Structure 1
Amino acid sequence: MKYAVAIDVGGTNTRVALVNERLEITDRQQFSTNPENPGETLSKISEVIRDYGEKIVGVGMSCPGPLDLIHGQILTPPNLHGDWQHLFVARELSTLTGLPVYLNNDGNLAALAEAVAGEGKDYRYVQFLTVSTGIGSGFVIDRQIYQGAHGWANEVENTVMWEGGPCHGTILPGGIEGISSGTAITTRAKKAGLQVKHAGEVNDLAKSGNEVAEKIMTDAKSHLANFIAGIYNLTDPDIVILGGSVAIKIKGFVEEVEVLVKSKVYEAQRSFIKVRKSILNEDSGLIGAAYLAFSKEK
């Protein structure tokens, strides 16, 4: 049996998994990421890979963006500093392991997993959006990630939907992540004086009749629906799959968004609108990374 290695480098932790050609995770390891020194983290990754001892066809790797997907380079992620910045990480890890390494972002890899093993496995054109701490995205055509001319396709978080609207971090005012992400929902609620810890609590207050919470949740769902309707008008996917904590954990969120999307497109399009909740767990990025490596095997 052939195997691929899937790697998810985060600002806090790094996960490494051994995945067989049936896309089953047979081993997984996790350790802390050194956010300043990539050499330490990459050395640990290579040690894990060496210990596997299986026939490995390649390595799929997810790192925080922004990324240069054409050249396998990390650019300026907010949670990785020092020598991580502008690091040609795919080349560095390939040198350490002697294996081909394919870099992509978590949104694209989760989309790929959905297309091969999730809600999108029966469709050709699969759009994925994660609605969680941030807003991530990926678009897959015939089980191939669509990256665009420069590798920036589906870096959607800064798409301005509301002129002068809310923002956080480096997100532009009114960017979709600044309106519809879990962080945005919670931040707006706290600024308005609500005592909440996460977006689910804001939604609970909205359902109980709190007008401030209702406005925040309405904004989040409505602007996300506007954004998804725009996707349908632009690329006409077979299905849009929503993952992430907001979409998965808030009861009725995905269904409400789908109804809103249908109200924002031509009547003739409505029968084609499918907005579905992800059925994959937090391993979707690892599954997508492994499939990416398998798909590159010559």
Structure 2
Amino acid sequence: MKKVLGVDIGGTKIRMGIVDADGTVHVDETIPTITPLYPYLEEQVLSMMARYPEISAIGIGTRGMVDAENGIITFETATLPGWQGTHVKSQLEKATGLRVEVNNDANCAALAEATIGAAKGIRRVVCLTVGTGLGGGFVFDNIVMNGAHGGAGEVGHMTLYPRGYACTCGRLGCNEQYVSGTALNRMIAEKNLLDSNGILMKSHDLFDSAKAGDEVAKSIISTFVSDFASVISTIQAALDMDVVVIGGGVADSSEYWWNDLLEALQPLLLKPLELKKAVFGNEAGMLGAAMLVQENVTVKA
């Protein structure tokens, strides 16, 4: 069975795994992210190839926006200085002699869920990652939808409330200002919701507080759920997907709000829609990066 190298590049660490077509991980290593990034990445990939000569192709998932067709990083913040503008695909293919594909990390996570995870065997898949922000990825017929500039799937930056809260992207009222861990923390601060020690509560404590009967906590979660349902229904109106897979740190607490989300969503849906919980956690990016270069996946703009 074909074994490939999947590389997930984050702001502080890089995860590298040797993975086969069914998602079995044979080697899994984590190294720190060091800048300048490209020469370091090439060095680490060549080291993996020397130790594991069975590697037949390389998939890279990374922060930022990616021109997936050409494997170029088109946008990245100062978190990875010098990474923006890097021609990863052409340089790494020249250095390794292997096929290389590059894509955004959220798209890679979506690809993992669509091909070997919660939505395996389903044609039209939208994955939403609810963490510090709100990320997304669209995978139709095992094809990652990248868009003309690598910006498809940026659901966190669709507008939910015009003239709403300022977003880090510079616009107002974006989805992730209402559906994310950051949004929950903002609402907690606005309500001055304190924990048992008199300290401002964190989002991960909110759900336990609501379960214990705190009415303020319940109202925050109700607002979050209502906004999340609106986000999903809007995406459905544009894409008419078969399924939405939901993952991320906030989704780890979905046992507290999942049924409420299903209930809030029903009157907003234009067509039937299935919701599933993601099966992969932190390994989703690495697995999806590996799937970029498996034979059952097509990568194009």
TM-score > 0.5, shorter chain as reference: yes
Deviates more, 1:176-185 or 1:208-217: 208-217
Aligned partner (choices 241, 244, 247) of residue 243 of structure 1:
247
Identity among equivalent pairs (%): 30
Q: Is 1:256 the equivalent of 2:260?
A: yes
Are residues 1:230 and 2:230 paired?
Answer: no
Give the direction of change, closer, same or farther, for the CA distance of 1:50–1:183 in structure 2 (3 Å limit).
farther
Task: Name the amino acid aligned to 1:232.
Answer: Q
SS, match of residue 61 in structure 1: strand
Counterpart of 1:9 in structure 2 is 9
Say if 2:136 is the partner of 1:137: yes
Secondary structure of the corresponding residue to residue 251 of structure 1: helix
Aligned-pair distance for 1:189? 1.8
8 Å CA contact retained: 1:11, 1:35: no
1:113 correspondence with 2:117: no
Change (3 A) 1:184 1:171: farther
Helix, strand or coil for the counterpart of 1:255? helix
Deviates more, 1:122-131 or 1:280-289: 280-289
**What is the 5 A alignment of 1:143-292?**
143-170=142-169, 172-194=171-193, 195-196=199-200, 198-266=202-270, 269=271, 272-292=272-292
Residues 292, 76 of structure 1: alpha-carbon distance in 2 compared, 3 angstrom cutoff: closer
Evaluate the alpha carbon distance shift between residue 91 and residue 173 of structure 1 in structure 2; reply closer, same or farther with a 3 A threshold.
same
The Cα shift of 1:9 comes to 0.5
Secondary structure of the equivalent of 1:241? strand
Asked if 2 retains the 8 angstrom alpha-carbon contact of 1:59 and 1:290, the reply is yes
SS in 1 for 2:148: coil
2:66–2:149 CA contact under 8 A, matched in 1? no
Contact 1:200 1:250 in 2 (8 A): no
Structure 1: distance between partners of 2:236 and 2:53:
45
TM-score by length of 2: 0.88
2:73 aligned with 1:74:
yes
Moved more, 156-165 or 90-99: 90-99
For residue 212 of structure 1, report the CA deviation from its aligned partner: 4.5
Question: How many aligned residue pairs are there?
Answer: 292
The farther-off stretch of 74-83 and 21-30 is: 74-83
- Alignment gaps of 5+ in structure 1: none
Give the whole-Å Cα distance in 2 for the aligned partners of 1:249 and 1:61. Answer: 29
More off after superposition, 216-225 vs 57-66:
216-225
Task: Find the residue that maps to 1:293 and give its secondary structure.
Answer: coil
Secondary structure at the counterpart of residue 185 of structure 2:
helix
State which drifts further: 246-255 or 273-282: 246-255
Q: Which residue of 1 aligns with 2:29?
A: 29
Aligned to 2:157, the other structure's residue is in SS state: coil
The answer as to whether partners of 2:109 and 2:288 remain within 8 angstroms in 1 is yes
* Residues 248 and 277 in structure 1, CA contact (< 8 A), matched pair in contact too: no
Unaligned runs of 5+ in 2: 194-198
Higher RCO structure (Cα 8 Å, ≥6 apart) = 2
* In 2, Cα distance between equivalents of 1:174 and 1:196: 24
